Amino acid sequence: MGKHHQNLLNNLEELRKKAGLTQQQLSESAEVSRKSINAIENGIYVPSTVLALKIAKTLCCKVEDLFRLPNN
Amino acid sequence: MTYFKRFLIIFVCGIVQIFYATYLLSNLFGYTIEWHISNHDLFMFIPGVLVFVGSGILTASYYFGDKKNNNILYDEYTALRYYKIAAIGYAINGIGIFILFSIQDWSNWNFQSANNMIYQIAAFAWLVFGILLTIFSIGDYKEFKNG
């Protein structure tokens, strides 16, 4: 687990690296800026449902694998 | 549209607003410089015209620009930063205008007082949004460069 937003824990950096993608490649596939991916990984930003689903689709995993609530 | 062009447009709008705000505030506090503008002068419209033209260019690029490029330029993270900046600006302006109304001498109200109050409101709003636009433009471009 990387750095977290207070309301959302994320596993994005680990899964992205496991998929062999750079932040740039993931951002192009998810149709957002690289800084958005960076902000999500560093727990600065909580993505919208659409963006979370796009990222999950790109990384061939479930949204639940990427994000989870702190109390889970 | 590119990050750099957007930075330039927003930065210039912000800096010009700060310049005009500083000019008006210095006048209101009794400091004058050789270069003089008044509310009858076309120069007074420059900050507004710049914002109008800048907004027009950005809006046109959003609706008619390259879609792939726009997904990156106008993504939700950037939008969130912009909303936060705008919310801070409106909040500070609301408080500022309330204070400006409160400090007026309503018992001796005349045309000159009204004119001064318009200057004060314009100067305050330009200063607040000028600073916020400049901060946004620099932060946005730095994030693009450094991640």
* Cβ within 8 Å, pair B72-A32: yes
- Asked if residue B39 has pLDDT above 80, the reply is no
Q: What structural domains and CATH numbers belong to chain A? A: 9-57 (1.10.260.40)
pTM of the model: 0.79
- Asked if residue A2 has pLDDT above 80, the reply is no
Domain ranges of chain B: 3-32+44-146
Return the residue matching tokens 């909040």.
Answer: B91
What separation in angstroms does the CA of B137 have from each of A35, A69, B2, B9, B114? 15, 33, 13, 9, 34
Calculate what percentage of chain B has a pLDDT beyond 70.
Answer: 93
CB B28 within 8 A of CB B22: no
CA B64 to chain A, closest CA, distance in angstroms equals 17
- The counts of H helices and E strands in chain B are 5, 0
The token pair at B42 is 């076309």
Beta carbons within 8 Å of B64's beta carbon, 6+ residues apart: none
Q: What is the pLDDT at residue A20?
A: 92
- Asked if residue A70 has pLDDT above 90, the reply is no
- Asked if residue B99 has pLDDT above 80, the reply is yes
Taking the alpha carbons of B25, B58, B76, B135 in that order, is the dihedral positive or negative?
negative
Q: What are the pLDDT digits (tens) for A9-64?
A: 888 989 999 999 999 899 988 888 888 898 898 888 889 999 999 999 999 999 99
* Cβ within 8 Å, pair B76-A48: yes
Q: What is the pLDDT at residue B134?
A: 95
What separation in angstroms does the CA of B74 have from each of A12, A23, B30, B81, B146? 22, 17, 43, 11, 18
Beta bridge partners of A68: A9
Cβ of residue A24 closer than 8 Å to a chain B Cβ = no
The three-state secondary structure class of B21 is: helix
Assembly ipTM: 0.70
Q: Rounded CA gap, B144 and A35, in Å?
A: 7
A to B CB pairs, distance under 8 Å? 34
Q: What are the pLDDT digits (tens) for B130-139?
A: 999 999 999 8
Residues from chain B that touch A23, judged by Cβ atoms under 8 A, are 147
- Asked if residue B35 has pLDDT above 90, the reply is no
Q: Rounded CA gap, B52 and B60, in Å?
A: 12
- Asked if residue B112 has pLDDT above 60, the reply is yes
The token pair at B12 is 């210039």
Cβ of residue A53 closer than 8 Å to a chain B Cβ = no
Q: What are the pLDDT digits (tens) for B40-94?
A: 567 778 888 999 999 999 999 999 988 888 888 888 888 888 899 999 999 999 9
Q: What is the pLDDT at residue B145?
A: 80
Q: What is the pLDDT at residue A1?
A: 46
CA A61 to chain B, closest CA, distance in angstroms equals 22
The token pair at B139 is 């932060």
Taking the alpha carbons of B40, B42, B43, B49 in that order, is the dihedral positive or negative?
positive
The string over A26-42, giving b where at least 16 C-beta atoms fall within 10 Å of a residue's C-beta and e elsewhere, is: bbbebbbbbbbbbbbbb
Residues from chain B that touch A36, judged by Cβ atoms under 8 A, are 75-78
